[in-house]
Chains A and B, each alone.
Chain A
Amino acid sequence: MKGPGRRTATRRGTDPEAGRAQPANEDGRAGGERVNDLAFKIGTVNGTGSASANGLLRSAIFRMGIPVSGKNLFPSNIQGLPTWYEIRANARGHTARTSRFDLVVAMNPATYGRDVAETVSGGWVMYDSSWPLPRELDRDDVTFLGVPLAKMTVDHFEGSRVRILMKNICYVGALAALLQIDLAIVRQLLRETFAAKAKLLDANFQAIDLGYDYAMEHFDCPLPVRLEPMDGNRDSIVIDGNTAAALGCLYAGATVAAWYPITPSTSLVDAFTAFCHRFRKDPETGRNRFAIIQAEDELAAAGMVLGAAWAGARAFTSTSGAGLSLMSEFIGLAYYAEVPSVFFDVQRVGPSTGMPTRTQQGDILFAAYASHGDTRHIVLFPADPRECFDFAVEAFDLAERFQTPVFVLSDLDIGMNDWVVPTLEWDDSYRPDRGKVATAEELEAATGPFHRYLDVDGDGIPRRSLPGVHPAGAYLNRGSGHDRFGNYTEDSEPYADVLARVGRKIDGSAPHLPAPEIELREGARIAFVTVGGCRGAVREAVEVLAGRGIATSWMRIRAFPFHGEVEAFLKRHEINFVVEQNRDGQLRKLIVAETEAAKGSLRSILYYGGLPLSCHHVMDGLAPWLEAVAPATANGVQPEGAGR
């Protein structure tokens, strides 16, 4: 398998160049030593159990105190198709996706070509040398690290399933040696995972050692691009957004969840179910203080949420774009009949079925105005799992306070990938904001009749009453035309009166929604405006630009209808580059439609290919402007992130 031209690492000392850093390449990257600033990925076949091995690597790096992210690129498939896990560790906290990998672990022959090609010049490819790599994959500027993983596992373990699993653990061991991942931490993580399975633990320890020892013996470990313990993760956790959102629902007191399985939102309800079983059972009877209903479709899921919310429960559904399309008739009903309801939309690539396991921000416009007729909705845009937790709680409060559907627009990257975020916090003095709900006592004491849609307080928010509480609170909730007293109407004025009031109510919600996150830079003429999970890549771009002497402010919009600060920010800058992950510039369109900001000051930087946004997407989008305005600077801009 070794041939002239292939740079293959061998035993330390026999080849002076083996495993050593290459001279700085044309990008000026990968040269010399680099500590706590690297990206690597593992290409495997889905269904081979690599997820736990990859999670082990990510957790170990996290425990070393290094900011890290883990992104799983997986197919819409059960078994047999290519899948990748990408890990980026960065001391400065830049953990957005990067598409340039220092090291690639190529475990899937079907993607060898692609995996080798995606390795950065001067980087390393680790592969299973039980079989030769095809010669056409040869690259002079990449070092190949052959580890006979299959052979080792066949020699040391029995049973095909165990061998497949241990092969994964073997590469963890080899990577620990190459990247200088703390082996004690890896062993401790395995101990925690297999606390009750001593036999499995022994096998895992053995597999780790096999990989580690092989690498130590055959390569010059560690590589110049490596990791060292630091203290960057104090008070942080690693969590995905769906788990965090589920925790938010648990803590907010949601009791009814209705849903239909759809990638990438399913794990939100799965997590909610697990948390409920752990925390929501009556300790004496073991009975459930929750109802989770797997509906026949998304229409039914939405109907169940509305029915439960109307009856007084905090109820939610979790779906993705295709499901939201199906729910849209009910969304209009919730808006017009003023039923507090929470919709999590974990966005994936559309339109139609699109790419179910890839990420996008394609539902922004749809969520803002979902359903026919005049509708306008409260939409929250979390940037990371921490905000998924906070916004989940806030969504229930807002829904009940404003008696309207509230959307939490997460996406696949936020929802299903592993993020390092500050520890979730909870204030035990929190009590749900149920909004204006007439109690039995109030209804009993009232001198006049109760009218469901009467704007008693002048804020556009009427009082509601719950079924089963008091006969004086009875009303017929309906999506058909109704007047302020809740009666059916087909008359212009009483109909328009209610619709205008509902509009005022939503307008009035803006100051109560999460304000935008803003960082103003002195002297900045340009700014980035972004939303959701683009945050990391945009911040990284801001740092890259600062390094080139270009001051850039940035704003991340966190809710719709827009907070007053949004427009004020936009008017401060000559050009606002609106960075988002869709084809049509949906956030930009929403800004144009909903603010007085000059349309010409808003320029789109778009990426909609389905992978999490990278700094280079932002810089690529900015390149035409840089060339036109600041050519000298443009030449100096690196294609990749600030940490490189």
Chain B
Amino acid sequence: MSHIRKPRVHHPGLARNRLGLTRRDYEGAMSTLCAGCGHDSITAAIIEAFWELEIAPHEVAKTSGIGCSGKTPTYFLKEAHGFNGVHGRMPSITTGAHAANRDLVCIGVSGDGDSLSIGMGQFAHVVRRNVDMLYIIENNGVYGLTKGQFSASADVGSKAKRGQVNREHPIDSVLLALNLGAGFVARSFSGDKEQLVPILKAGLRHRGFALIDVISPCVTFNDHHGSTKSYQYTRDHYNRLVYADFVPPAHEIAATYESGDARTVKLHDGSAITFRKVPGDYDPTDRDRVYGYIRERQRSGEVATGLLYVEPALEDGGNASDFHGIQGTVPEPLTECAFEDLCPGADALAKLQGRFR
């Protein structure tokens, strides 16, 4: 399909957001991934989320590593700067970009090999540093570009296309992120746009590090019987544990819920997440119980999905423990500091050198 060029002229009847942009304005180049790839569905959800949030594309910095996931920033937000770096190192590049210009809306797209094998160190440390970004792991349990090797997220017992069975224990990015103190942890499925879009929106609005691990079946190398990351397996074992609606800052929480079912968590910019149909004893702000609950569902063979954990914003809406909070940086981007404020000048240098005599 990649030989088809996208038309530059849009249908006049397309819906526009308050910036006057259509969804088409949030698209990128035509995908070159396999037809039916879960990653393309995630790309579509990303486009929808940015359009609905009315974020100007050029205010976004999109980053990725290497692998099929690494290609996807090409396929959304063509008017945003992107940085497709080296394998497993998307977190450090994003950290640097966010350090330099905190106004950029950072979205990093990674894969299970990129984040949980070669880049696991960087993944762990970007969580620790609480970099303000949305971190997406497009998780298919397999190395696609190199033709089907197991990745570190492959489940024990999962069967590869050529029949080998994985015997090594998987690394679960969601449990890992919870352990490392991430303030926003979600899991979803590329085939569930209805669940995915609100989580992406909430993740983009969360100040601090937000992880969403999206089960994204690889139609070519990991969509067969015996794979635990296939469309069929995921649908069969998928548990929409937590339903969350994203409510932008200016909106009233309009949806009506049966009493006792709904719970609202405020985000830093005044927006909110409303959880509905949460199981009776589930508290999405209690890290330990969330951890235990996910483990429990896993033992019974279920993949718990939804916005599983979120740290509520402080009363003043700030987040003193995000990257710039810890760094103590000025509120404006460092890239906008005037040189006069950065260079102490000749007199200061002369005076300073008194101590070197």
Contacts and interface: CB of A to CB of B under 8 A. Distances in A.
Interface of A: 62-63, 236-239, 247, 250-253, 255-256, 258, 279-280, 282, 285-293, 295-297, 299-313, 315, 329-330, 333, 423-428, 430-432, 465-480, 488
A308, A329, A426: most-surrounded residue (chain B CB, <10 A) = A308
Contact of A306 (B80, B85, B334): B85
Nearest to B90: A303
B317 interface: no
A302 B122 CA distance: 12
Interface in B306-357: 324, 327-331, 333-335, 337, 339, 341-346, 348-350, 352-353, 356-357
A93 B209 CA distance: 56
Given A247-B349, A287-B330, A466-B335, A310 B83 contact: yes
Contacts of B337: 255, 289
A313 B334 contact: yes
Contact of A468 (B63, B81, B93): B81
B29 to A, nearest CB: 9
Given A253-B342, A310-B93, 17 more contacts: A236-B357, A250-B343, A253-B339, A258-B99, A280-B341, A289-B337, A289-B341, A300-B91, A303-B89, A308-B97, A310-B81, A313-B334, A423-B350, A468-B61, A468-B103, A475-B81, A479-B85
B39 to A, nearest CB: 16
Nearest to B331: A287
A145 B349 CA distance: 43
A426 B349 contact: yes
Which residue, of A305, A468, A488, has the highest number of chain B Cβ atoms within 10 A? A468
Nearest to A440: B58
Interface string B79-98: 11111111001011111111
A306 B344 contact: no
A297 B96 contact: no
B125 interface: yes
Contacts of A330: 85-86, 89
Contacts of A470: 58
B101 interface: yes
Contacts of B129: 293
A86 B46 CA distance: 63
A474 B83 contact: no
B104 interface: yes
B82 A477 contact: yes
Given A287-B329, A296-B121, A474 B349 contact: no
A561 B84 CA distance: 29
B173 interface: no
Contact of B99 (A289, A304, A431): A304
B57 interface: yes
Nearest to B57: A471
11 contacts: A258-B95, A282-B341, A287-B329, A289-B337, A289-B341, A291-B334, A293-B99, A308-B100, A311-B335, A423-B353, A431-B339
B74 A476 contact: yes
B78 interface: yes
A468 B349 contact: no
Nearest to A389: B349
A125 to B, nearest CB: 32
Interface string B55-72: 011110101000000000
Interface-central residue, B81, B94, B352, by most chain A CB under 10 Å: B81
Contacts of B342: 250, 253, 255, 280, 289
B83 A476 contact: yes
Contacts of A329: 86, 89
B330 A426 contact: no
Contacts of B330: 282, 285, 287-289
A250 B344 contact: yes
B73 interface: yes
A488 B74 contact: yes
A303 B104 CA distance: 17
A311 B344 contact: no
A59 to B, nearest CB: 8
Contact of B92 (A62, A237, A307, A480): A307
Contacts of B328: 286-288
Given A256-B334, A428-B346, A471-B57, A63 B100 contact: no
